[in-house]
Structure 1
Amino acid sequence: MTQDMSETSGSPLPDWARSLGTPPHSGRFREFPEAFRVEEQMAFTPEGEGEHLWLHCEKRNLSTAQLIRHLSHSLEVAPRDIGVSGLKDHTALTRQWVSIALAGRPTPLGLAEQIEMEGVRLLSFGRHPRKLRRGVHRANRFALYVTGEAVTQGSLETRWNALVTHGVPNYFGPQRFGHQGSNLTRARALMARGWKKKQDRDGFLLSSARSFLFNQVLSERIEQDNWASGLAGDVFNLEGSASQFAGQALDEQLRARLTALDIHPTGPLWGRGESDVSGEACALEQAIAEHEPVLVEGIEKAGAAPMRRALRLCLQAPALEREGEGIWLHFSLARGGFATAVLRELFQHPAL
């Protein structure tokens, strides 16, 4: 059974199981911002008119929160009137869309000069009728430069090919839990007192608690070797879609679709209410929940709705390119996927 590492070490986060086992070699990544590149991929572009100005921005060595504060000051709008689809890494070179509410105001002249600063560059812009909402981007495209023993010894390339073929465990990354798991520690304390919106306005602590339970389930299923092959009673997610369905029994057709990466088993984003999961899959999730009564009860009392998340990620358009002493890894992940979930399968690193 996956353990709560608060009982076994000084860290609140476990060393969750890897699908390929512990990597034999160490590696280095994010040694400079340009070595970790992320580009948001949208399914649509601004329509050309409307109350909101959409900006396609490139940022270097800045968090999304810092970018929002800069745009708020530069364009004289309240932070609440600025929308983003996702939060992008700080120590990285990233490109993302940002919307600015400008009802009754024209697009500023000299827009690029007005908002550009060290670390911020405007790539394009356009008007749109609606504010940019969280989670509307389709995917993120990554280009990551990796060096170290895993590259020179060849283990990275072997493990990479296995991930391309079989998929990646869809863990929430360490950034979801805060520095050294601080968000999870705070979430435990808040859930024990009783979750209140005024104490977690953006829901980060509630999200951290739900993400931790999901990772616990995924880790246990990797240890049992059924995270990708499925269990009776699983709810499945259709690759490249938000569509989900309950499978009940695992027949040959479902097994073939799982092998082909066409569908993926799902795990719980815990909440209050009924779930479609049943049988062995339900029993496993309930066993995990019994080890975390404070988090489970706190989430349910907070009124979070139960949801499901795929246990497996596919690497979209993967490519590996050698350059100098390192390797560039190119791939896209569906919205909600973490690049750190890919890297922790490839090499050892303290941040993974």
Structure 2
Amino acid sequence: MPLNASDWPRWRRLLDEHFGAPLPGSYRGVAEDFVVEELLDFTPEGQGEHLWLFIEKRGQTTLDVVRALGRLCKTGPREIGYSGMKDRIAITRQWLSVQLPGREPPEGLETALAESGIQVLQCHRHPRKLKRGVHRRNRFTLRLSGPAMAEEALTPRWQHLCEQGVPNYFGPQRFGPEGRNLFRAEALLAKGWRKRDDRHGMLLSSARSFLFNTLLSARIEEGSWATPCPADTLMLDGTQSLFAIDEVDETLYARAGRLDVHPTAPLWGKGVEEQGAMAAHAQTLEKTYPTLCAGLERSGVAVSRRALRMRLSEPRLEREAPDRVVLSFELPKGSFATAVISELIAHPDFEPVRPGAALSP
């Protein structure tokens, strides 16, 4: 039977056990309430056949910018690179590249982009195309408002996240309105995934994200989401470096307490083979969501790993009004600011899909 809304789990929040469920709040009422900026750890070289553009956009997706840039530069999508996908309802600053071998960019390119709502902040040449995941981190500046911002528990909630880390959930935007991306992913995986049916891999990603969130929720429930367990695979903070462990000693416990290392869970795909505490959760997942698990393995996408916890870097909380605050922090690439927000406010975006509502389009 295909998934429907009644199957959608309520993934566990971390802070409910400590502070109770958060009060209602609002975020992203307007684009200015949600600002995100990509941070590179290198500088374009200033020469080469690829033009790198650091742009600011609002009210548009990254793919909208790709299409506008391709139209103006008369290039296909394969000649355009970007590191990360950024939200539409936000002010986002990100890098893109366009291959222009032996030619200058079209005259008036920046003006034409500006007329489409895309402001060019920097422009440099570089020898190589910008590839997915090249940026190191994202810097967020978020405005939150409502009763949750006025309650006394807000400050200790925020401090707990700063000191102990945040569950590294994929945000609700990964699953689309009413979870439709996941439903489409299940239907595609049931008949056999083909790239031509999922050109950007969005549906594969939705299915893998759903399964990862379910595993993370299970580890939060058993109290081991941030604590190494025997046979875990750990990730070194700030890197993608992985190492497997057999047993846990005091040194590893101490490193986890300093947020130096984090337990991981699989991003489902070909080659899944879990050990220890994660093995039982993975087996439950295979029984509960067989179409998603088996379909991902048949698709050929290789299993990879994602940290269960993320560290907030350079966190700040500034109060603008009794019921309004501005949060700023940096997160590793691929981590979602909505995972932070969901621990601080109750909002329909963070609730399960409405019971009885089919996930189909």
With normalisation by structure 1, the TM-score equals: 0.94
Q: Distance in 2 between matches of 1:11 and 1:107?
A: 52
Counterpart mapping for 1:181-192 below 5 A:
181-192=179-190
Query: What letter matches 1:320 in structure 2?
Result: L
Residue number in structure 1 paired with 2:270: 272
Contact 1:5 1:11 in 2 (8 A): no
- SS of 1:126's equivalent? strand
Counterpart mapping for 1:279-294 below 5 A:
279-294=276-291
Query: How many residues were matched structurally?
Result: 346
Contact 2:22 2:343 in 1 (8 A): no
Is 1:296 aligned with 2:293?
yes
Residue-by-residue CA offset, 1:6-48 (whole Å, 9 max, x unaligned):
57xx355322101111533011110111110000001112101
Residue-by-residue CA offset, 1:254-275 (whole Å, 9 max, x unaligned):
1111111100000011111254
Residue number in structure 1 paired with 2:193: 195
Deviation at 1:118, TM superposition (A): 5.0
Contact 1:151 1:157 in 2 (8 A): no
Q: Distance in 1 between matches of 2:75 and 2:57?
A: 20
Q: Percent identical across equivalent pairs?
A: 49
Residue-by-residue CA offset, 1:248-300 (whole Å, 9 max, x unaligned):
1111111111111100000011111254x422222222222222111111111
- SS of 2:94's equivalent? strand
Q: Distance in 1 between matches of 2:189 and 2:33?
A: 38
- Select 1:13's aligned residue among 8, 11, 16: 8
Residue number in structure 2 paired with 1:345: 343
- Select 1:59's aligned residue among 48, 51, 57: 57
Q: Distance in 2 between matches of 1:270 and 1:327?
A: 37
- Select 1:243's aligned residue among 241, 244, 252: 241
Q: Distance in 2 between matches of 1:84 and 1:102?
A: 15
Residue number in structure 1 paired with 2:84: 86
Query: What letter matches 1:312 in structure 2?
Result: R
Deviation at 1:75, TM superposition (A): 2.3
Contact 2:73 2:105 in 1 (8 A): no
Q: Distance in 2 between matches of 1:155 and 1:89?
A: 29
- Select 1:166's aligned residue among 159, 164, 167: 164
In structure 1, list runs of 5 or more residues that go unmatched. none
Residue number in structure 1 paired with 2:118: 120
Q: Distance in 1 between matches of 2:232 and 2:2?
A: 27
- SS of 1:337's equivalent? coil
Query: What letter matches 1:13 in structure 2?
Result: W
Query: What letter matches 1:262 in structure 2?
Result: D
Contact 1:213 1:289 in 2 (8 A): no
Contact 1:53 1:102 in 2 (8 A): yes
Pick which of 43-52 and 286-295 moved more.
286-295
- SS of 1:346's equivalent? coil
Q: Distance in 1 between matches of 2:246 and 2:179?
A: 36
Residue number in structure 2 paired with 1:307: 304
Q: Distance in 2 between matches of 1:104 and 1:278?
A: 53
RMSD of Structure 2 on Structure 1 (CA) = 1.8
Residue number in structure 1 paired with 2:142: 144
Query: What letter matches 2:293 in structure 1?
Result: V
Residue number in structure 1 paired with 2:23: 25
Contact 1:316 1:332 in 2 (8 A): yes
Deviation at 1:5, TM superposition (A): 12
Q: Distance in 1 between matches of 2:80 and 2:303?
A: 28
Q: Distance in 1 between matches of 2:257 and 2:67?
A: 46
In structure 2, list runs of 5 or more residues that go unmatched. 351-361
Query: What letter matches 1:282 in structure 2?
Result: A
With normalisation by structure 2, the TM-score equals: 0.92
- SS of 1:131's equivalent? coil
Counterpart mapping for 1:62-81 below 5 A:
62-81=60-79
Q: Distance in 2 between matches of 1:5 and 1:334?
A: 34
Structure 1's 192 and 5: CA in aligned 2 closer, same or farther, altered over 3 A?
closer
Contact 1:75 1:115 in 2 (8 A): no
Deviation at 1:346, TM superposition (A): 0.7
Q: Distance in 2 between matches of 1:258 and 1:209?
A: 29
Query: What letter matches 1:133 in structure 2?
Result: K
Contact 1:232 1:250 in 2 (8 A): yes
Pick which of 319-328 and 257-266 moved more.
319-328
Q: Distance in 1 between matches of 2:33 and 2:186?
A: 35
